[in-house]
């Protein structure tokens, strides 16, 4: 199989592997799914497999073509990214001397369509255009790409990589074969982390916190994770009748949006540990082993329906934070629901 380096995406990768083996690649793909689950890696591997010089087991990862694709220097594999990213890499110069945009802009797409795709392939068997992130294209850029998506040059495949596919115009989505990339199961993420040197307990916790994203799991800093665990321990010790205490906690934990989201994720995991103790007994393995005393105490003090209610409130806080809610207010709302929801 061409995509052996990826995990948890068997259905999408089987479709690509089949198309490669039959020589029947679609002219345009939309790789859609959460961040950090392997979409961009799959796009690169597809470009390598389509141009690999090996006789079999493509991509080999070692031939000149594979190495050029990996370095981003293959002349027949064209990358299109945000204008500011391209400008920083020295691959694009914004027109009119203006500052680079956070978007993929119409000038970039016109340059791709009118110049780069108008030329013949240089050395590869197949040309690929990798647009990542495709949801960074503004509406003008998307409209400029429509005709090419419908009728690309011979021997050319466009791959649009998007974590927010609904940000793309319906006319863009309808012209692509959509492949769904799903969140990666926690067990597979943990297995990969252990293979990279993390302990079993650490890997299990990081995998749970990463919510199916290997990219997020790899980026989680050990010191930051320890800080979040201390924050969970502080939340577990809050007095339900001391409003000033949990308001102060929300203010402290809500100074940073991403830190607040990770804290809520860990609180959700801690609550899941409580349910595990209630269902399987005090000796059941815990994701947050350092909080075992607090977990077992909460398992005795709270009824399972109450724990489940708090899980839902933590999920609501996570969703609100993803929608740019004020971190302190999101945490305050969650804690009000935890401690006084039965009095509303």
> Parallel, antiparallel, or unpaired for β 28-32 and 77-80?
unpaired
Both 255 and 131 in one domain: the answer is no
In a domain, 189, yes or no: no
Distance CA 168, CA 328 (A): 32
Of 131, 153, 180, which marks where a domain is finished?
180
**Domain contains 301:** yes
pLDDT of residue 344: 42
Write down the mean pLDDT value for the chain: 91
Q: How confident is the model at residue 90 (pLDDT cuts 50, 70, 90)?
A: confident
Q: Two tokens at 22?
A: 């039959």
Three-state DSSP class for 153? Answer: coil
Choose among 143, 68, 150, 135: nearest CA to 106: 143
pLDDT at 1: 52
Say if residue 237 is in the same domain as residue 170. no
Strand partners, 32: 162, 180
DSSP symbol at 104 = B
Q: Cis (ω within 30 of 0) for the bond into 52?
A: no
pLDDT of residue 342: 57
pLDDT score for 2: 66
Per the model's pLDDT, the better-predicted residue between 64 and 341 turns out to be 64
Structure tokens at 56: 């079999």
pLDDT digits (tens, 9 = 90+) for 278-299: 999 988 888 888 888 999 999 9
Give residue-wise pLDDT tens across range 40-84: 999 999 999 999 999 888 899 999 999 999 999 999 999 999 999
| Domain housing 326 | 221-343
pLDDT tens string 119-149: 999 999 999 999 999 999 999 999 999 999 9
Beta strands in the chain (DSSP E): 28-32, 77-80, 127-131, 156-162, 177-180
Of 129, 159, 180, which closes a domain? 180
Domain count within the chain = 2
Give phi and psi for 68, each to the nearest 5. Answer: -65, -40
CATH number of the domain enclosing 114: 3.40.50.300
């Amino acid at each position: 199989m061409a995509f052996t380096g990826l995990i948890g995406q068997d259905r999408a990768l089987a479709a690509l592997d089949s198309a490669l083996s039959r020589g029947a690649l679609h002219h345009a793909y939309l790789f859609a799914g959460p961040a950090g689950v392997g979409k961009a890696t799959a796009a690169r591997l597809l470009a390598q497999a389509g141009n690999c010089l090996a006789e079999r087991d493509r991509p080999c990862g070692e031939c000149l073509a594979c190495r050029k694709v990996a370095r981003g220097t293959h002349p027949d594999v064209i990358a299109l990214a945000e204008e500011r990213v391209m400008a920083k890499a020295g691959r694009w110069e914004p027109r009119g001397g203006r500052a680079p945009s956070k978007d993929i802009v119409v000038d970039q797409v016109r340059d791709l369509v009118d110049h780069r795709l108008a030329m013949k392939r240089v050395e590869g068997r197949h040309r690929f255009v990798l647009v990542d992130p495709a949801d960074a294209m503004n509406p003008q850029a998307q409209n400029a790409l429509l005709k090419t998506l419908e009728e690309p040059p011979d021997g050319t495949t466009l791959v649009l990589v998007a974590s927010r596919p609904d940000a793309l115009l319906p006319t863009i989505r309808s012209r692509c074969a959509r492949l769904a990339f799903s969140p990666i199961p926690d067990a597979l993420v943990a297995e990969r982390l252990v293979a990279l040197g993390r302990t079993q307990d650490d890997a299990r916790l990081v995998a749970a916190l990463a919510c199916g994203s290997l990219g997020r799991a790899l980026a989680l800093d050990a010191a930051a994770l320890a800080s979040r665990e201390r924050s969970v321990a502080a939340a577990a010790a809050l007095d339900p009748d001391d409003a000033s205490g949990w308001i102060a906690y929300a203010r402290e934990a809500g100074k940073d949006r991403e830190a607040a989201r990770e804290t809520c994720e860990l609180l959700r995991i801690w609550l899941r540990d409580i349910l595990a103790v209630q269902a399987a007994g005090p000796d059941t393995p815990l994701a947050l082993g350092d909080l075992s005393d607090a977990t077992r105490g909460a398992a005795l003090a709270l009824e399972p329906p109450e724990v489940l209610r708090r899980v839902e409130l933590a999920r609501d806080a996570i969703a609100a934070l993803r929608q740019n809610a004020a971190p302190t207010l999101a945490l305050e709302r969650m804690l009000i629901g935890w401690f006084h929801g039965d009095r509303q």
